[in-house]
């Protein structure tokens, strides 16, 4: 039998989980900056602009789409993620390689940091 049953989830459920687990905008930004720490970044630059649109032509949201202006940019010099890490880890809700690293007592490769984000909820 080739049709195996599996769970699917709608984007609305992912959004609802995110709203329940991340209580406000400040917490969401802190979670993203924490990712910079986990990626061994030596700096994180955070830009919050709630008056303008980002000057990019390829954005989905922008003037004319009934969207209010504003954007957030978080830039760092961390190690980043490979395609496989994004596909098989970050996009899998509740999977966390950081949790596994901490269980084994491992630290980040460049700066020897214990990993902070281990709930596996980054995509939310």
pTM equals 0.60
Of 18-27, 45-54, 61-70, 83-92, the one with minimum mean pLDDT is 61-70
Per-residue pLDDT of 103-123, as tens digits, reads 788 877 788 777 776 555 555
Question: What is the average pLDDT across 72-98?
Answer: 79
The sign one gets for the Cα dihedral 95, 98, 99, 105 is: positive
How far is residue 96's CA from residue 118's CA, in Å, rounded to a whole number? 6
Residue 41, pLDDT above cutoff 90 = yes
Give the mean pLDDT of 47-69.
73
DSSP calls for 21-50? HS-SHHHHHHHHHHHHHHTT-S-EEEEEES
> Greater confidence, 93 or 16?
16
Supply the pLDDT for residue 88: 74
Please report, for the chain, the start and end positions of each structural domain, with discontinuous segments joined by +. Answer: 11-104
């Amino acid at each position: 039998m080739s049709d195996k049953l599996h769970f699917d989830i709608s984007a609305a459920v992912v959004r609802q989980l995110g709203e329940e687990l991340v209580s406000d905008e400040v917490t969401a930004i802190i979670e993203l900056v924490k990712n910079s720490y986990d990626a061994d970044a030596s700096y994180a630059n955070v830009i919050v602009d709630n008056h303008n649109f980002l000057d990019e032509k390829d954005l989905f949201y922008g003037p004319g789409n009934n969207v209010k202006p504003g954007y957030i940019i978080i830039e760092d010099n961390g190690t980043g993620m490979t395609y496989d890490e994004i596909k098989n880890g970050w996009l899998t809700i509740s999977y966390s390689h950081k949790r596994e690293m901490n269980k084994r007592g491992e630290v980040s490769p460049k700066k020897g940091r214990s990993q902070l984000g281990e709930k596996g909820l980054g995509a939310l």
